[in-house]
Amino acid sequence: MSAAMSRPFLKMPFLKMNGLGNDFVVVEARSAPFAPTPEEVRAIADRVKGVGCDQLIAIEKGAGGADAKVRFWNADGEEVSACGNGTRCVGWLLMQSSGTDRAVIETKAGQLIATRAGERLVSVDMGKPGLGWQDIPLAREQDTRALDETLSTDTTLATAPGCVSMGNPHVVFFVDDVEAVPIATIGPMVEHHPLFPEQVNVGFAQVIDRGRIRLRVWERGAGLTKACGTGACAALVAAARRGLTDRSAVLVLDGGELLIEWRDDDHVHMTGPAAVDFAGELP
């Protein structure tokens, strides 16, 4: 890491955590300020010279009844509003430290509530999905249930994708065989398509049956990850809106399974594991 990083990050403790292989560097910033530059985030996330992660997370002091405020940065250095697997990991940490079964987490996407769902299992109320074209946001008006826009000419993408915001933008393609899709080629092209002014997370979903979806996600700023919590939520909502599944399903990701429920109150709940890999100090 660069010498410039030694000043602001001296003795900053962190935990390396993962949710289904989607991995994070989680920094304890409640007792000292933590304001990394994009260059510093990229250095921490670098898997050769840094700690290595898909996202960097800072836990700060909460306000307004929240147990903590949480900030997220993608590996490319951009700060983002939401991260489902990261929220689940932070929720587990907060509940472990307080000895309670509930944690209120403040994020840029709003307050999220995490609850204990079993041994190292955490359920997070991810709030209501954004379904309007301005919620995503899109550059122009579209029916987000099925876009009237050609995002890719690849023949594995035979049907129009849907869009959902889970505090961050998602586009979801429904495919016959997710393993046959050239995600490394299509993902970055769609991520930077002009229809998405804030770029977009790109999901590729194969509906196995009404209660099970195989999903792979190209995350904006991180690439193909083993799991994406908000992506799983978006895929379930997009599938249910088109009548392809029920409003509750198991999402099968490269790193494991998540239970996603789009409940009658319009809130999306995500349940899955959280794991601690190791502890350290920055830089």
Let me know if residue 179 belongs to a domain.
yes
Query: How far apart (Å, rounded) are the C-alpha atoms in residues 166 and 82?
Result: 8
Q: What is the pLDDT of residues 27-47, one digit of tens each?
A: 999 988 899 999 999 999 999
Percentage helix, strand, coil, to 5, in the chain?
A: 20, 40, 45
Is the same domain home to 257 and 278?
no
**Is the residue at 231 inside a domain?**
yes
Question: How buried is 263 (Cβ within 10 angstroms: 0-12 exposed, 13-18 middle, 19+ buried)?
Answer: exposed
Cβ(227)–Cβ(215) under 8 Å?
no
Q: Is 119 exposed, middle or buried (0-12, 13-18, 19+ CB in 10 A)?
A: exposed
Average pLDDT over residues 203-221: 98
Choose, from 89, 163, 228, 233, the residue flagged as catalytic.
Answer: 228
Is the residue at 166 inside a domain? yes
Residue with tokens 């962190």: 14
Q: Note the pTM of the prediction, 2 decimals.
A: 0.92
Tell me, what CATH number does 106's domain have?
3.10.310.10
How confident is the model over 215-241, as a mean pLDDT?
97
Q: Per residue in 98-143, pLDDT tens? A: 999 999 999 998 999 999 999 899 999 999 999 999 999 999 999 9
Please give the structure tokens belonging to residue 209.
């049956």
User: Are residues 8 and 115 located together in one domain of the fold?
Assistant: yes
Domain holding 93, by residue range, is: 3-127+272-282
- Specify whether 112 is located in the same domain as 166: no
> In terms of DSSP H, where are the helices of 84-205?
84-98, 183-191
DSSP 251: E
**Residue 83 annotated in active site:** yes
pLDDT tier at 10 (50, 70, 90 boundaries)? Answer: low
Catalytic residue among 83, 89, 163, 233: 83
Judgement on whether residues 63 and 93 belong to the same structural domain of the protein? yes
Tally of domains within the chain: 2
